[in-house]
Amino acid sequence: MKKTVVLASLVVILGVGILLTYCIGQIRVNAGLEEEITKKKQALLMLQGQQNRLSELEKQSKDLDTQEALILRRVPANEKQPLAFIKTLMRQAARTGLKDITIDVSDESLPLDDGFVPTRLEINFQGDYSAFLYFFEELMNTERLFTVEMLKIERDENYLPAQKIYLQLLIYTLSP
């Protein structure tokens, strides 16, 4: 009986030892897994930060593309003849009631101005002063970049109340 008690005690002690070893092993595995989880969380946070930065950069890129499109509408690149601007001028002049509209594009080569190629437009038309003011206001609201070089308004007895109006503009194109 003494042998069975000793044997039973030995089996219990051995069982407790095996159970204790197994628990210690599981604690180590658990600690390793927690360390891995911590590393994965840090990596995830870093990736989320990079994703946010990428989103910001994509938004900035889209904004820059929009700004570039706006600039190219205001100052087109490599435009030989400003046909779209002339069409806009003609449409605005007709809408405001101006008559006898002539537009001449000057062929003289003007010096480059900080990467811009200026083109001179000479516009002649007839109309009353209020129609001209409305046309000029519409002209100022166009997206195209231009400079008014000269403006002449002549009253002629033959054309009253209409007046002869001469307008000289420099419109700009980006140089190649």
Q: What's the N-to-C CA distance of the chain in angstroms? A: 108
Q: Could you give the CA distance from residue 74 to residue 174 in angstroms, rounded to a whole number? A: 10
Least confident of 14-28, 52-66, 98-112: 98-112
* Domain count along the chain: 2
Q: Could you give the CA distance from residue 93 to residue 166 in angstroms, rounded to a whole number? A: 13
Give the residue from 127, 120, 87 showing the smallest Cα distance to 104: 120
Identify the pLDDT of residue 113.
Answer: 66
- 70 and 96 in a single domain? The answer is no
Identify the pLDDT of residue 73.
Answer: 75
State which of 29, 49, 74 marks the end of a domain: 74
Tens digits of per-residue pLDDT, 25-37? 999 999 999 999 9
| Per-residue confidence band for 58, with pLDDT thresholds at 50, 70 and 90 | very high
Question: What's phi and psi for 78, nearest 5 deg?
Answer: 55, 40
- 69 and 91 in a single domain? The answer is no
- 48 and 120 in a single domain? The answer is no
- 106 and 169 in a single domain? The answer is yes
State which of 22, 53, 74 marks the end of a domain: 74
Q: Could you give the CA distance from residue 152 to residue 140 in angstroms, rounded to a whole number? A: 17
- 91 and 44 in a single domain? The answer is no
State which of 36, 55, 74 marks the end of a domain: 74
- 44 and 87 in a single domain? The answer is no
pLDDT beyond 80 at 109: no
The domain containing residue 135 runs over which residues? 83-174
Structure tokens at 47: 């990736």
Structure tokens at 70: 């706006």
- 58 and 88 in a single domain? The answer is no
Identify the pLDDT of residue 48.
Answer: 94
Q: Could you give the CA distance from residue 101 to residue 151 in angstroms, rounded to a whole number? A: 15
- 33 and 91 in a single domain? The answer is no
- Percent residues over pLDDT 70 in the chain: 94
Q: Which residues contact 71 (CB under 8 A, 6 or more apart)?
A: none
